[in-house]
A and B are shown apart, each in its own frame.
Chain A
């Protein structure tokens, strides 16, 4: 289905991204410039970086797919995911940024090591966990890029992966967070504009919003309910655990929370939660409605989905293909998906680079390493992480979707309790955090495997794991010696979001 205009549009997009990398590389003078963009991000760059980081390609395809499968009961995903941006800024960002202004943190591991007085154990544990989870996530992102490029150009998987990896790696490696943030600005604008145009076209093509809803109700009345009346998913209790997973799990993911360290001025935290929530909310709702439209289109025989295990993820691609009968416009949609995927992929690669070069290499292995060496290690790790995940994506594991959900579940189970307890509970101790993080990690693995291979659970598996992590934190903290008052004061620990005025 390739034509000259399609190729030209995709090449133009890739060149713009690489151009941003080239421009950004001139601004990178040291590790701080590279990893936190010299702490220079203003309102719109920060908000759209958050939107771009949270909105991945898999979620873009998967949102419509989930809407196609479960109908309105899955609509809560559209509230919880955008809400993760607001949650991250309000409950983590305001206080972390305030401490960072005085301490100069580069990564969230800097905070954990400082707050819990555990420069070695907790830093290593959280960095290694963060790297593993980010790698799992990256494989999923590269697979999504490959799906789109293969669909559009009918090229083999290996070629699609090499093209995608090359473009992201070039601009991320040379430009660091400057490039990632400014690329996210462009990518998010493409994503927002594209979805605002494309999704309504699919919905109108299916007969309009009202027709789609009425059609869904005629197929199965449960599809238009706010939740499922029975079963194992999207019941009210399941939705509570799903909400915790998405809202807090994504908010404390290293590649999301590290954006906070790059903010120029705390004043932008005033409106950023609302603006981030609304922008991303509109995009997510429209994508979900496009998935609903897919139900009517498929049931009415307009098109049928491919005979593959994740057929529902193709619903938006096929919807576009049928609703917009011009090949050049499909390529614009391909660019939208590429933008969504790349805006997460680049941030993940940079986060892996930061966690290795800063937390493991600089802070543990070679404390006396000069800045230039740390910067070089960051760049090498960014390239290595891209190559490794590209090779893994060549043969994507069959349980890829499970691994991605597992990834978010592990983020929630390992990072949420140590971060929230660290920021708000003065009695939380270093050993409490280490045990809490380890217990959450192990419990996420056990409950996740149980959910996948033994039997379904009434709540999302990560909810049980985060409860284990919470109990471990409380019990161990209460029986161990409290952290020093000086550290607690320096890290502004207490039941407040903003420091009380002195």
Chain B
């Protein structure tokens, strides 16, 4: 179904959503790590 749902990148929406979502999620988690890691070392 997703194969017919093309977008500007020439990719199925599912691929954009899953791969892009994973990149954004990991980036957010690592930013949160940095923000809450603290600096009392």
Residues of A within 8 A of B (CB): 72, 75-76, 79, 83, 86, 90, 209-214, 217, 221, 224-226, 265-267, 269-271, 273-274, 277-278, 281, 498
Contacts and interface: CB of A to CB of B under 8 A. Distances in A.
Contact of A278 (B14, B27, B33, B39): B27
Contact of B26 (A83, A213, A269): A83
B23 A79 contact: yes
Contacts, number: 65
A80 B27 CA distance: 13
Nearest to B20: A226
A213 B9 CA distance: 7
Contacts of B31: 274
A211 B30 CA distance: 33
Contact of B11 (A224, A265, A281): A224
Contacts of B41: 265-267
Size category of the binding interface on chain B: 20 to 34
Contacts of B3: 217, 221
Nearest to B14: A226
Interface in B1-40: 3, 8-12, 14-15, 18-19, 22-23, 26-27, 30-31, 33-34, 37-39
Contacts of B18: 226
Contacts of A266: 41
Closest 8 CB pairs of A and B: A213-B10, A274-B30, A210-B10, A226-B18, A266-B41, A214-B10, A270-B37, A226-B15
18 contacts: A79-B26, A83-B26, A90-B33, A209-B9, A213-B10, A217-B3, A217-B12, A225-B14, A226-B14, A226-B15, A226-B18, A226-B19, A270-B39, A271-B34, A273-B33, A273-B34, A274-B31, A278-B27
A76 B26 CA distance: 12
A371 to B, nearest CB: 29
Given A217-B3, A273-B34, A274-B33, A267 B15 contact: no
Contacts of B11: 72, 213, 217, 224
A270 B40 CA distance: 11
A210 B8 contact: yes
Contacts of B27: 274, 277-278
A210 B10 CA distance: 5
Contacts of B12: 217, 224-225
Given A72-B19, A226-B19, A281-B23, A274 B39 contact: no
Nearest to B18: A226
A270 B26 CA distance: 15
Nearest to A269: B37
A43 to B, nearest CB: 12
A224 B15 contact: yes
Contacts of A269: 37
Given A79-B22, A79-B26, A270 B15 contact: no
